[in-house]
Amino acid sequence: MSPFRFRSQRGRCLFLPCGTPGPIYALTATEIQPPGNPNTYLTQYSFDPILSEVMPLLRHPEVAKWLTSLDDTTRAELDEALAYLEQHGRAAAMPDVRHRIQTSRHFPDMSEVRVDIDQSHIYRVLVGFGPDERPALLLAGNKAGVGNAWYQANVQIADERFDVYLTALEKSKEKPK
C-alpha cells in the first residue's frame, strides 16, 4: 500500500501522508524538449512539499467540553480528522474538510471538519481561519437527523464566536500607548 493518499484539488495533484503527520506534496508535470531534437518532448515530474508547518488548533471551551464528552471510538475518529486539519491547515482536502461555508459571514474563512461514522453519527466541527491562518475550532456537534438545518442553527453561533476570537486577536496585536 502506498504511504500517500491522492487527492485532486483545483487542477493540481496533492499527495497527503497517511497515518503519520508530514508535509503535503504537489506533483507538477513539465514538458521539456531535449537539446538537438525538435520533434521530441519529455515530461519531467517534480514532487515538492507545499506545506510542512503545523498550525496548532485553538479550541473554543464549548468545543473542548463537547470533545471530552464523546465515547472513545468517536473521539478517536474526530481526533484523527482534527490532527489532519492541524497538520495541513487550509490545504486540508475533502472528504475530511470542506472549505468555504457559504452561509457564514466569514466566508471564505469558515470551514468544517467532517466525520461520518454511520447514519446516526454525522459529526461536524466548524472552523475559522484567522489572518494568521491558524485554525480555531468554534462549534461542534452531530447533525444526524437534522440535516442542513444543523447549519442554519449553528453557523451563526460559530460566526459570533469567530468575531470574539478575531477581536481578541486584534487587541493582542495592539501596542499599549
- Residue 27 banded pLDDT, cuts 50, 70, 90: low
Q: Which CATH class is domain 58-173?
A: alpha beta
Are the C-beta atoms of 92 and 104 separated by less than 8 Å? no
Contact 101, 124 (CB under 8 A): no
Express as a percent the part of the chain with pLDDT over 70.
69
Q: What is the pTM of this model?
A: 0.68
How distant, in Å, are the alpha carbons of 24, 31, 32, 34, 36 from that of 44? 20, 6, 7, 11, 17
Query: For residue 29, what pLDDT band results from cuts at 50, 70 and 90?
Result: low
Residue ranges covered by each domain of the chain: 4-51, 58-173
| pLDDT tens for each residue of 42-59 | 666 665 554 445 557 889
Kindly state the cell numbers that stand for 18.
497517511
pLDDT at 84 over 70: yes
List, for residues 136-171, the tens digit of each pLDDT value: 999 999 999 998 999 999 999 999 999 999 998 888
Mean pLDDT of the chain: 77
